[in-house]
Chains A and B, each alone.
Chain A
Amino acid sequence: MAEPLLHVENLCKEFPVSSGLFGRKKESVHAVEGVSFDIYPGETFGLVGESGCGKSTTGRCIMKLYNPTSGKVIFDGQDVSTMSRSQLKRMRRNMQFIFQDPYASLNPRMTIGEIVSEPLVIHGEMTNRTERMKFVAELLDQVGLNPEHINRYPHEFSGGQRQRVGIARAFALRPKLIICDEPVSALDVSIQAQVLNLLADLQKEYGTAYLFIAHDLSVVQHISDRVAVMYLGHMMETSDWKSLYAEPCHPYTQSLLSAVPVPDPDVQRDRKRIILAGDPPSPIDPPSGCPFHTRCPIAKDICSQQVPDLRDLGDGHFCACHFAEPNPIKGSSIAL
């Protein structure tokens, strides 16, 4: 394969939390711990996990909305962490973000046209206003909005339409990579499908790579070429979408997949389900060893003592479990 567009290596992010009466006792939330992956041009990399697993923080660290505590983020051959302000600005031309909440991500005091053209203004492209507005109108048309609505305000649109505005804004500069942070989870099913199709169409047209962050396994499966599963800041398993969903190796991935209810009563009745006990541990005080061992159905002594490495099980399928074997449950009823 070609050079990766984005190379993330051993990314860590801790948030300090001060507690105690005078904020003396310093603790920290270990949001992301040692996450590594590559994204190649034009592909979609899905990052999936439950709330608090650090998937959104990972996305924000790559974008440098947060400063990573440690680790390397190399975008387009350049190290993001050592960039100067002007380099960072140039980098952001090629890396854009789509947010989860279509209500909070659009400034209510700006028109749709102003919102979508803002990246152009910031990066000094198309200084001619008429030309710029013409371009924005075309873009709105492309994302399925009426270009005549260019002077309207966000509160006049429904959630799905607002998300289209957010997508148009992200595509205004034709970036190489877009980080999509739960772009469809706030939308209704029928609208969700529209937006997923739109993202796929735009990717086909512009060859943009996506880092697709979501908690919904079936959505991630649908859109991603490769998928990584996160738990408590750690990457548990990563592989191409087909082998991850058909042959999950990590017990966490297996239980996650088996917990997703399938909209098909026959299938649902026959499925073997692994229901995990308890809640995920607190990221302030993560367990020793494998982060999943407190809930894992097959945990042994070693799991609480030693952090498992992300091992290659062949064919680009990596898994961080001491007991993972290649293709353990092929054709099992667990899969979606």
Chain B
Amino acid sequence: MFNKKKEKVQMNLKNQPVPEGSHLLEVDDLKMYFHTQDGVVKAVDGVTYTLDRGETLGVVGESGSGKSVTSMTIMGLIDMPPGRIEGGDVRYRGRSLLEMSEREMQDVRGNYIAMIFQDPMTSLNPVYTIGRQMSEGMMLHLGYNKDQALKRAIELLDLVGIPNPEQRVKEYPHQFSGGMRQRVMIAMALACDPDILIADEPTTALDVTIQAQIIELMQEMQQKNGNAIIMITHDLGVVADITDKIMVMYAGRPVEFGTADEIFYGSIHPYTWGLVRSIPEPLQDQKKPLTPIQGNPPSLVNVPSGCPFSPRCPYATDLCRTKVPERYVTETGHYSSCHYAGDADFVAANAPKTSRDRADKTTGGQN
């Protein structure tokens, strides 16, 4: 505990420039398996992406797709065992997070990479005041004393739009509503001015009108601080709203990765198409039945052979059922784990029609 100050001087990664040729955060073929009684759960299986300051990455997937475990792994928050990293690397400003000691990781958590969780009701400790909980991180990471930290906490609460912050800072979590607690969580996460903010379903437990407030707040804060955001969600609407890049996950694997425009208007993976088709279409004259993805997500203990999506994919061939697809990467870095992603005719014939296709008749998309 006493040598904390010394180490702080020693490493202040946040102020160091990102090494030439690397990104702020690079996740490279990350694999995290859980060894359980029922077998090996391949919770994260080959996740790859990069992230720079000011960018927002959306991680989309259904429950059990490994989207949360990925970020927990990055933060070093997975219990090992049962978890084990089976391969890959996570580099933050060129330094591998997986090789860091627990002591170093404590500095990373909260200071360089901060996290917001889904449930604002359980992520705050009910026995401490909001001010005290907010101060903790600042005293630990920034070396503030109690008064400085409290003063900063009040500023932060004001910044995230909590009225009467001088009063509220002395109150306990149960005196705040769900939306207000999530604002407090954002304020806490931003207290140490982190490079990366990981938000794990931050609005899922909230109502739409409150969700809109929180998303706006996160965007506003990003513009001010220039931090990167990793937004984990199952809601394609939320992703469309704020992200620059999107990674779609299925059964622990990234099935498609690209810019928001590439995913929404030029997707080359049938799972992404299925997700888009599952959502009720915008206002239309006639009601049409939805086009769901058939079947159920696979158990991660027993992932189907070949392409994990093949049992539910309407276009699956024998090749899909036997061989795990290679990643097809376009020149812009857009990638898809589908055998037929490179087949322009296949994509054109089967991808769902988007609002751009409708507006721009020349593309002539079908379906």
Q: A–B direct touch, CB within 8 Å, in complex?
A: yes
Chain A residues at the B interface, C-beta cutoff of 8 Å? 50-51, 158, 160-161, 188-194, 196-197, 200, 215, 217-219, 221-222, 242, 245-246, 255-256, 258-268, 273, 275-277, 279-280, 335-336
Residues in A neighbouring B283, C-beta threshold 8 A: 221, 242, 245-246, 335-336
**In the complex, are the beta carbons of B289 and A194 less than 8 A apart?**
no
Residues in B neighbouring A256, C-beta threshold 8 A: 208-209
Nearest CB in chain A: distance from B339 CB, A? 21
For the complex, is B36 an interface residue (Cβ under 8 Å from A)?
A: no
Q: Within residues 16 to 66 of chain B, which ones have a CB less than 8 A from any CB in chain A?
A: 62-63
Nearest CB in chain B: distance from A136 CB, A? 21
**In the complex, are the beta carbons of B237 and A196 less than 8 A apart?**
no
From the candidates A191, A222, A261, name the one contacting B296 in the complex (CB within 8 A).
A191
A50 and B206 CA atoms in complex are apart in Å by: 9
**In the complex, are the beta carbons of A190 and B180 less than 8 A apart?**
no
Residues in A neighbouring B282, C-beta threshold 8 A: 262, 264, 267, 335-336
Chain B residues at the A interface, C-beta cutoff of 8 Å? 62-63, 177, 179-180, 207-213, 215-216, 234-241, 260-261, 264-265, 274-283, 287, 289-294, 296-297, 354-356
Residues in B neighbouring A267, C-beta threshold 8 A: 282, 355
Q: A158-B296, A193-B292 are in contact. Are A265 and B278 (CB under 8 A)?
A: no
Q: A158-B296, A188-B234 are in contact. Are A263 and B209 (CB under 8 A)?
A: no
4 A-B pairs closest in CB distance:
A261-B237, A193-B292, A222-B280, A263-B236
Residues in A neighbouring B297, C-beta threshold 8 A: 158, 188, 190
Inter-chain residue pair count (beta carbon < 8 A): 128
User: What 18 new A-B contacts, CB under 8 Å, besides A191-B296, A263-B236?
Assistant: A158-B296, A188-B62, A188-B63, A189-B236, A190-B275, A190-B293, A193-B279, A194-B293, A196-B280, A221-B280, A222-B281, A245-B283, A259-B208, A260-B208, A261-B241, A262-B240, A264-B354, A276-B213
**In the complex, are the beta carbons of A276 and B209 less than 8 A apart?**
yes
Nearest CB in chain A: distance from B261 CB, A? 6
Q: A261-B237, A265-B264, A279-B180 are in contact. Are A222 and B292 (CB under 8 A)?
A: no
A255 and B235 CA atoms in complex are apart in Å by: 19
Nearest CB in chain B: distance from A75 CB, A? 27
Q: A256-B208, A336-B283 are in contact. Are A190 and B237 (CB under 8 A)?
A: no
A221 and B290 CA atoms in complex are apart in Å by: 12
A255 and B261 CA atoms in complex are apart in Å by: 26
From the candidates A191, A261, A262, name the one contacting B292 in the complex (CB within 8 A).
A191
**In the complex, are the beta carbons of B234 and A261 less than 8 A apart?**
no
Residues in A neighbouring B213, C-beta threshold 8 A: 275-277
**In the complex, are the beta carbons of A259 and B209 less than 8 A apart?**
yes
Nearest CB in chain B: distance from A287 CB, A? 16
From the candidates B207, B235, B280, B294, name the one contacting A261 in the complex (CB within 8 A).
B235
A196 and B288 CA atoms in complex are apart in Å by: 12
A160 and B180 CA atoms in complex are apart in Å by: 32
A336 and B283 CA atoms in complex are apart in Å by: 6
